Structure 1
Amino acid sequence: MKPILLLFFSLFLIFTTTIQAQEPSTESQYEKKMVLIPMRDGIKLNTVIFIPKNNTAPLPFLFMRTPYGVADSPSPERSNPELAKEGFIFVNQDIRGRYLSEGKFEMLRMTRDPKIPNSIDESTDTYDTIDWLLKNIANNNGKVGVFGISYSGWTSMMALIDPHPALKAISEQATPADWFINDDMHHNGAFRLSYGFDYAFMEEAGKTDTLFPFDTYDTYDWYLRLGPLSNVNDKYFKNTIPTWNNFVQHPNYDDFWKKQSLLTRFANRPLTVPTQHVAGWFDQEDFAGPLFMYELLEKQDKNNLNYLVIGPWNHGGWARADGKSLGNLQFESATAKTFREEIQLSWFNYHLKGKGDGKFAEAITFQTGSNQWKRYDSWTPKQATQQALYFHANGKLSFDKPSSASGFDAFISDPANPIPYRNRPIEQTYGPGSRWRTWMTEDQRFVHGRPDVLSWETEVLENDVTISGKVLAQLYASTSASDADWIVKLIDVYPAMMDEKNLKMSGYQQIVTADVLRGRFRKGFETPLPVKPNEVAEYKVDLLQSDHTFKKGHKIMVQVQSTWFPLIDRNPQKFVPNIFMAKAGDYVKAEHRVYRNGGYASRVMVSVVR
């Protein structure tokens, strides 16, 4: 397959740099060098180094490692203008086995056994590179900061496994943490089909990024024609894509996924380097990772080194443009510029140059709805209290618990007619014209009213309602089949009449947070269990976290459905041991019921700040 380099140049910018839409200077103030740096096992890694031309004072390094190719890295004035103006030595590196680096690539490479001489992993490659830089790049001040977005956020975390003494600051941005529980490839055990398929092929079909050759623009149609997931290897991959084979061979949360997870790698590991975790409320790929890593390391942080930043961004959105808007949502200020000019710059200036007072807020978030930056001394905020939004008859939602003795709402879920997760056509994830980046801001009215989507909403709010912290859906539900997926969306419904300048937002249904649980994993991800037909069971759908104000005059809505295609693969709804090996005959219609009575009070728990 011929690499499609032009398409993936933009992908590289999303994941690895902080591109600004601005005219480059006629002449860069940085000298560019490309070198092959030897690792402890003799493998050489391709590395691009940008050194200020006229600097006289010793400078620290800012180091980023990526699988997306660095040979054509733009100058720092274009990629990181705020940091470039301050002055750093920038280092970008192809990780092992990718693009111009030697060796064999391994997706999310497992951590080495230190007892094995000359064993390697991403941490040792980081360590060896830093060691080489300190010895071979003149006029450095002996300090290094590691940062990056997405996969480069993950390599930033890996630098902490065995940190070099010169490593003084980390800014991991949108790292994946666990590919089975809640990042790119699965959410709560449900397989993220379109992304998992596209990404596995993109990274492993060749040494450079390669698009799968879909013959259909609307991939909703293509994935529906694909049929059972067993057809992927039979018809297309032919067992040549290692990550896809891992999906097939490990359908449950077994030792493979646990070993790969950062949650395992960092369990009981003390934090020794100041670490900033950066996330976006509308991150379509890795929102959970930074939250999970912040929470885990916070328990192990004895020296106040662990910090969190969350803004109104999609995946990597803080690193490009100005952040005044996303899709149809307007934020009233340049949120991305605020991050780059104030939050990120002050972080590296303090830790690498000794500038500033180092008094960082424990958590900095941009509260959507109210459109305000907030600074907290703990996350979640201590003043937030858990309250329940209960489902009621006639599509009503309320903080009052239902008192009726019985009651449920029902729908038919048909795998042959799955609900699209965004407006069609659904373009290839990173293909021409793709709207993948902004789908989480789409108006949910495109599915509201479908017979297989249930909705409940409050009365018009008489006062603002702010939620800051964890969100958890607790459904009491049944199915006529033996398995089911449960997708829950918490939605902000805008007033029906708006100012004429904002007519498109009239009645807009904005996702605040949403996620899925595969029913077979309702009692744990390690062992899937069939559902007893027509028996009421509890399903806890983790909707992660939010900091959002539902404004006076708006409504709060909850939507529940069972398909979200092709973001999530179709659950056959007939229990099979391994959905990746399901047959066409395993896919069946089913009636799903969501209960809303005094005994089975389905609800969404939110962290309300009064």
Structure 2
Amino acid sequence: MDNNGYLILMKKSLFFLLTGLACFAAHAQNDSASSYTWREIMIPMRDGVKLHTIVYTPKKQTEKLPFVLIRTPYGVGTGYAPDKNDYIKDMAADGYIFIAQDIRGRYKSEGGFEMTRPSRNKKDPQSIDEASDTYDTIDWLLKNIPGNNGNAGILGISYDGWLAIIAAADPHPALKAVSEQATPYDMFTNDDFHHNGAFRLSYGFEYAVLTEAAKTDSLYNFGEYDTYDWYLRLGPLSNINKKYAHGSLPTWNNFMIHPNYDDYWHAESLRYRLDYPKVPIQHVGGWWDEEDMVGPQEAYAQLEKKDTSHRNFLVIGPWLHGQWGGDEANNLAAIKFGQPTGTYFRQEIQAKWFAYYLKGKGDGNFAEMTSFQTGSNEWKHYNTWPPKESTIKKIYLHADGKLSFDKPSVNEPTAFDSYLSDPAKPVPYRTRPVEETYGQNSHWYFWLAANQRFVDNRPDVAHWLTDTLTEDITITGDVIANIFASTSGTDADWVVKLIDVYPNVDHQELSMSGYELMINADILRARFRHGFSTPEPLTPGKIEAYTLDLHGADHVFKKGHRIMVQVQSTWFPVYDRNPQKYVPNIYEAKESDYQTATQKIYHTAVFPSCIELPVVQL
């Protein structure tokens, strides 16, 4: 399916057109053939604010039913039947009372909106947060909507998924099942707005406009199709407010005044808001989620440390952001899986999860971790994550662009690869034109699975490649990059990619010949190498060790393929340009601060740059 086809599918699935997230988008459709009726209500919160809510009830209700909530900032519609909505129609067949709600300050709900609202002061009974709004909503529903069985569940994707896990952190007693899907975890160390301290420029600006320029969602008018040029001409980030936003976007303003990990980021992070699994919770993510790939993995890992009641579960499939919610997901861009992975999730995992915990149906025998393993293209079930069967094997960078499991033995000072990083000519993160993130025909959705050959000939991208594999290599677990590097500047960004290179001639599918599929990748802003709260300049020419958590994978590098590692220092404009000259606040950098730098990546016996792979021995 091409990108236009996917967007059409998202519309049909009632995903909000701009984000593909809201599961009850603004479509006013009465379907007389539906088995559900709906009505609008305004539910009062403890502070008097009323939230716009749609209640969907089966027309022929023969038993008491549980509530299933979806809370969203993206706008709920009126009259769209749950049994016609691809995301939940398999659940609707079991019979639920569905609740769709605009969170405070968005669309028809009263009050003020605050992005990823911090937790309330529980000493003040009138203080509010998203957990208290969920609590008050469930409490009102139990008392005012007849025919309920006293149980409630909540689910949602992305921001809606974050709302679900926040509800689980401080739950109403009736909340019995939670499925957070693609939640962000920590907006400074990973997901959405930063990765390891590097600012996600295009996404951060365009999302702030989307949610804060008006109470209903709108796109920024760039006046041109290729936003790469617009962001490059922008110059220093301070020009956003000077020339365009003029201080009108609260979240953008917060980005500018919080360049390091401080109390602001601490208050937003799930890292400090999750205690233990108070209700059964299912974390759902995609291996190629371009927005919140890390969040479900990190949220699961944190709660798993205190999961004494076996309430914490993880599901990861071969998906982009939210793809499991409405697509059959037979493929991801050019990558084919040979089966409808999204349909399988909705029918065999999601529907059965809620049926068991809310209605007592089924055996409740859910795997600790359910994963779609790519390469083999098989569903796998694990008792622990990462699985105990995985063994760490290091794959090392060598001279002449070689990559192997043999540790380097040379120790000459010249045993490095170098490139010139120029902020004036940054490496694009996807092929140009770089369309507006949520704009028409945007390739944003698929960029993590895009063919990386488009940077093969750039002199500012370093490559290392194995020989052709003589047997399958399976990696299952967390991937870690250990890079020894130096720079001629006083700051730098390090981007590391782990890539599956298809055969030069793929006889099974010629169009995939030589395809370079990115399996894991991430970025580190080097000033934060010793801590995200304590930025430090680099010493020019000094070799230092950099560790990047490239997060989880479940993938088979097939016999006949090769493994590649790429390293670069710009990934634009999804990440802002590092001036490569240390300044206390990059957001206040001047045009004159941006300078070229020579980057060196070492591969010696003393400085053995490598990737730690969690290899499963067959």
Cα contact 1:203–1:210 (8 A) shared by 2: yes
Deviation at 1:210, TM superposition (A): 1.3
Q: TM-score, normalised by structure 2?
A: 0.95
Matching of residue 403 in structure 1 with residue 409 in structure 2 = yes
Which residue is 1:203 aligned to?
211
Aligned equivalent of 2:181: 173
SS at match of 2:41: strand
Of 299, 311, 316, the match for 2:305: 299
Q: Give the AA of the match of 1:562.
A: S
From 4, 17, 28, give the equivalent of 2:23. Answer: 17
Question: Are 1:366 and 2:372 matched, yes or no?
Answer: yes
CA distance in 1, matches of 2:263, 2:564: 39
Judge conservation of contact 2:23–2:156 (CA < 8 Å) in 1.
yes
Instruction: Please list, as runs of the form range in 1=range in 2, the aligned pairs for 1:253-332 lying within 5 A after superposition.
Output: 253-266=261-274, 269-332=275-338
Aligned match of 2:420 = 412
Match in the other structure for 2:612? 605
Residue 251 of structure 1 is matched in structure 2 by 259
Conserved 8 A contact 1:24-1:77: no
Taking the TM superposition and a 5 Å limit, the aligned residue runs for 1:380-391 are 380-391=386-397
Alignment match, 1:560 = 567
Q: 1:549 aligns with which of 539, 544, 556?
A: 556
Q: Does 1:452 align with 2:460?
A: yes
User: What one-letter code is carried by the residue in structure 2 that aligns with 1:422?
Assistant: R
Of the structure 1 ranges 67-76 and 555-564, higher mean CA displacement relative to structure 2 is found in: 67-76
Structure 1 residue 481 displacement after superposition: 0.6
Label 1:73 to 1:404 Cα distance change in 2 as closer, same or farther (>3 A).
farther
Report the secondary structure of 2:527's partner residue: helix
Report the equivalent of 1:236: 244
Give the match for residue 3 of structure 1.
Answer: none
Percent identity, aligned pairs only, is 55
- CA deviations on 1:169-198 (whole Å, 9 max, x unpaired) are 000000001000001000000000010000
Deviation at 1:72, TM superposition (A): 4.3
| 3-state DSSP of counterpart to 1:315 | coil
Output the CA distance in 2 between the equivalents of 1:327 and 1:153: 24
**Using a 3 Å threshold, how does the CA distance of structure 1 residues 225 and 64 change in structure 2: closer, same or farther?**
same
> 1:93-139 CA distances to partner (integer Å, 9 max, x unpaired)?
00000000000000000100110131111011000100111111111
What residue is the counterpart of 2:495 in the other structure? Answer: 487
The 3 A distance-change label for structure 1 pair 99 and 474 is same
* Correspondence for 1:357: 363
Paired amino acid for 1:515 = D
Partner residue in 1 for 2:3:
none
Partner of residue 514, structure 1? 521
Q: Check whether the contact 2:30–2:79 (CA below 8 A) recurs between aligned residues.
A: no
Contact 1:477–1:592, Cα closer than 8 Å, also in 2: yes
Whether the aligned pair in 2 keeps the contact of 1:18 and 1:319 (CA below 8 Å) is no
Q: Give CA-to-partner distance per residue, 1:435-491, whole Å, 9 cap, x none.
A: 111111110000012100100011100110000111111110000010110001100
Amino acid at match of 2:594: Y
Instruction: Give the alignment of 1:104-143 within 5 angstroms.
Output: 104-143=112-151
User: What is the Cα deviation at residue 18 of structure 1?
Assistant: 8.6
* Corresponding letter in the other structure for 2:588: M
* Number of the residue aligned with 1:29: 35
Does structure 1 retain, via aligned residues, the 8 Å contact 2:30–2:80?
Answer: no
Which amino acid is the alignment partner of residue 370 of structure 1?
S
The 1-side partners of 2:390 and 2:396 are apart by 19
Q: What's the secondary structure of 1:100's corresponding residue?
A: coil
After TM superposition, give the deviation of residue 71 of structure 1 in Å: 2.6
**How far is 1:16 from its partner?**
2.7
Contact preservation (8 Å) 1:24, 1:78: no
SS at match of 1:124: helix
The correspondence for 1:525, drawn from 511, 532, 549, is: 532
Contact 1:12 1:68 in 2 (8 A): no
Q: Distance in 2 between matches of 1:602 and 1:74?
A: 54
Amino acid at match of 1:420: P
What amino acid maps onto 2:592 in structure 1?
G
Contact preservation (8 Å) 1:18, 1:320: no
AA aligned opposite 2:325: A
Cα distance 1:9–1:293, how it changes in 2: closer, same or farther (>3 A)?
A: closer
Shift of 1:367: 0.4
Task: Give the 3-state SS of the residue equivalent to 1:182 in structure 2.
Answer: coil
Deviations 1:333-354, CA, capped at 9 Å, x for gaps: 1100110000001100100010
CA distance in 1, matches of 2:435, 2:252: 21
Q: Name the aligned partner's letter for residue 68 of structure 1.
A: Y
The residue correspondences of 1:575-590 to structure 2 (distance < 5 A) are 575-590=582-597
| CA 1:111–1:534: 2 relative to 1, 3 Å | same
Q: Which of 342, 345, 350 is residue 344 of structure 1 equivalent to? A: 350
> Which stretch shows the higher mean deviation, 453-462 or 157-166?
157-166
User: Match of 1:63?
Assistant: 69
CA displacement 1:294-333 (0-9 Å, x = unmatched): 0000011110000000000000011112110010000111
Distance in structure 2 (CA, Å) of the matches to 1:296 and 1:161: 12
For the residues of structure 1 that align with 2:210 and 2:115, how far apart are their CA atoms? Answer: 12
Alignment-derived partner of residue 159 in structure 2: 151
2:506 to 484, 495, 498: 498
SS at match of 1:37: strand
Residue in 1 that maps onto 2:4: none
Which residue in the other structure is 2:5 paired with?
none
Once residues 394 and 180 of structure 1 are traced to their aligned partners in structure 2, the CA distance between those partners, rounded to angstroms, is: 36
1:47·1:92 contact (CA, 8 Å) conserved in 2? yes
Residue identity in the other structure for 2:57: I
Cα displacement string for residues 530-575 of structure 1 (whole angstroms, at most 9, x for unaligned residues): 0000110111111111000000000000000001100110000000
* CA-CA distance at 1:162 after TM superposition: 2.1
* Map of 2:476 onto structure 1: 468
Structure 1 pair 213–121 and aligned structure 2 pair: CA distance change class (3 A):
same
Distance in 1 between residues matched to 2:34 and 2:453, nearest whole Å: 48
Asked if structure 1 preserves the Cα contact closer than 8 Å seen for 2:74 and 2:217, the reply is yes
Of 93-102 and 236-245, more deviation after overlay is shown by 236-245
Q: Which secondary structure state, in structure 2, belongs to the residue aligned with residue 131 of structure 1?
A: helix
Q: Report the Cα distance in structure 1 between the residues aligned to 2:251 and 2:78, rounded to whole angstroms.
A: 27
How far apart in 1 are the matches of 2:470 and 2:276?
Answer: 47
Alpha-carbon distance in 2 for matches of 1:524, 1:13: 32
Q: Aligned AA for 1:531? A: L
Whether the 8 Å CA contact 1:572–1:579 is kept in 2: the answer is yes
Q: 1:256 to 1:286 in 2, by over 3 A?
A: same
Counterpart residue identity of residue 472, structure 1: I
Aligned partner of 2:287: which letter? W
- For 2:151 and 2:394, locate their aligned partners in 1 and report how far apart those are by CA, in whole Å: 48
Q: Which residue of 1 aligns with 2:225?
A: 217
The alignment partner of 2:188 has SS state of coil
Alignment of 1:69-88 (within 5 A): 69-72=75-78, 74-79=80-85, 80-88=88-96
Structure 1 residue runs without a partner (length 5+): 1-5
Offset at 1:503? 1.9
Report how many aligned residue pairs link the two structures: 599
- 1:40 corresponds to 2:49: no
RMSD of aligned residue pairs (Cα, Å): 1.6
- Partner Cα distance (2:579, 2:605) in 1: 31
